[in-house]
């Protein structure tokens, strides 16, 4: 049975867990009674294609094999044995209104199938947000995925966790507020699941800039938050970012694929929903290179 009429995901590229240190009044208000974590585990390597691919496909980089170069140059196969959540929704709900609006367009081009009627557009964050708001008002999407890229750009140029990086997160928070407020005007929010997630964080270089791709704590631990009618208030103890795919399918009442270490490994976090009957959460540390999962040993970050 379908749990929500509308599901909205806003991805903030490069925000990592630094959201907790930034001035984010909209984030704080939206998720005050929701579930959140600043310790969701990214995919390894902590690079955009590998991470966004995990989130939208429900599988790890060791399975989807996507890289920034691939998603920038190659459309995602429409007959892949690992369909995106967009295709899985379309197969169950042929008339669903689906949208993917990303500053970094390779997500829509290289991770989402191009033959299933997904509305899309791309522009810089501050230009894209009014387009998204108009889309919400006019089309009332069943599922909307948004990606903002400016935070990661600031991390690369100014360093992650720096005042400039935190200021860019605060600016993105205003855009999150714009989208949320538009949704409140357009939807019954009691029937809407609203989520914010980051793909990775970053580590700082000696030259004052930053990079990511390694497995330091500041790269691999990221933010996830959810607000909805059956979301359990509190902290999510254990979560991997690939679990976003399972959460989206659950929200639409779509059965999850069978857990398979050679394929689908997205799960429903145990501390997320009040009424979930999800099986016990499986540790996949050995698949992510994160064994032991919580590591304080620093590793050199790989340049993009």
pLDDT band at 287 (very low <50, low <70, confident <90, very high): confident
Distances from the Cα of 231 to the Cα of 93, 114, 228, 247, angstroms: 23, 32, 5, 11
> Please, what is the angle between helix 48-57 and helix 243-251, to 10°?
30
First to last CA, the chain: 42
**Is the separation of the CB atoms in 179 and 8 below 8 Å?**
yes
* pLDDT value of position 256: 95
Alpha helix ranges (H) inside the chain: 25-30, 48-57, 61-64, 68-73, 85-92, 106-110, 125-139, 150-158, 163-186, 217-220, 243-251, 285-288
Structural domains of the chain, with CATH: 6-288 (3.40.720.10)
Mean pLDDT of 83-110: 98
**Is the separation of the CB atoms in 129 and 123 below 8 Å?**
no
pLDDT band at 290 (very low <50, low <70, confident <90, very high): low
Share of the chain above pLDDT 90, in %: 87
Mapping DSSP to helix (H, G, I), strand (E, B) and coil, where does residue 227 land?
Answer: strand
* pLDDT value of position 295: 40
pLDDT: is 293 or 267 the higher one? 267
Mean pLDDT of 232-255: 96
- Report whether the peptide linkage leading into residue 45 is cis, meaning its omega lies within 30 degrees of zero: yes
Name every residue whose Cβ is closer than 8 Å to that of residue 55 and which is 6 or more positions away in sequence: 11, 197, 199, 241, 242, 244, 245
Per-residue pLDDT reduced to its tens digit, 122-174: 999 999 999 999 999 999 999 999 999 999 999 999 999 999 999 999 999 99
Per-residue pLDDT reduced to its tens digit, 6-44: 999 999 999 999 999 999 999 999 999 999 999 999 999
Report pTM: 0.94
* pLDDT value of position 1: 85
Mapping DSSP to helix (H, G, I), strand (E, B) and coil, where does residue 235 land?
Answer: strand
pLDDT at position 292 over 60? no
Neighbours of 92 (CB within 10 A): 13
Mean pLDDT of 197-206: 93
206 vs 184: CA distance, rounded Å = 44
Farthest-apart Cα atoms in the chain, separation: 53
pLDDT band at 111 (very low <50, low <70, confident <90, very high): very high
Distances from the Cα of 167 to the Cα of 32, 98, 154, angstroms: 21, 31, 9
And the tokens for 52?
């966004």
pLDDT at position 252 over 90? yes
170 vs 23: CA distance, rounded Å = 5
Mean pLDDT of the chain: 93
Mean pLDDT of 88-98: 98
pLDDT at position 300 over 80? no
């Amino acid at each position: 049975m379908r749990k929500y009429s509308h599901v909205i995901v806003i991805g903030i590229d490069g925000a990592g867990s630094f959201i907790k240190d930034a001035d984010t009044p909209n984030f704080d208000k939206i998720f005050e009674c929701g579930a959140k974590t600043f310790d969701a585990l990214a995919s390894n390597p902590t690079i955009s294609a590998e991470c966004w691919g995990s989130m939208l496909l429900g599988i790890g980089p060791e399975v989807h094999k996507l890289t920034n170069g691939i998603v920038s140059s190659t459309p995602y196969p429409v007959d892949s044995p690992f369909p995106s959540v967009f295709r899985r929704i379309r197969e169950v709900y042929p008339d669903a209104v689906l949208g993917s609006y990303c500053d970094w367009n390779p997500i829509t081009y290289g991770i989402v199938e191009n033959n299933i009627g997904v509305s899309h557009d791309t522009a810089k964050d501050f230009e894209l947000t009014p387009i998204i708001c108009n889309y919400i008002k006019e089309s009332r999407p069943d599922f909307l995925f948004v990606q903002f890229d400016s935070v990661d750009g600031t991390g690369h140029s100014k360093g992650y966790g720096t005042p400039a990086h935190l200021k860019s997160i605060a600016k993105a928070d205003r855009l999150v507020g714009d989208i949320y407020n538009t949704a409140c005007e357009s939807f019954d929010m009691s029937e809407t699941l609203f989520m914010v997630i980051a793909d990775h964080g970053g580590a700082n270089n000696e030259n004052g800039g930053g990079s990511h791709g390694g497995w330091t704590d500041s790269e691999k631990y990221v933010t996830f938050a959810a607000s909805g009618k059956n979301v359990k208030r509190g902290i999510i103890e254990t979560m991997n970012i690939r679990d976003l795919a399972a959460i989206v399918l659950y929200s639409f009442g779509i059965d999850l694929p069978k857990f398979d270490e050679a394929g689908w490994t997205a799960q429903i976090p145990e501390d997320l929903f009040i009424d979930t009957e999800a099986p016990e959460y499986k540790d996949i540390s050995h698949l992510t290179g994160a064994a032991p999962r919580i590591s304080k040993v620093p590793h050199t970050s790989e340049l993009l």
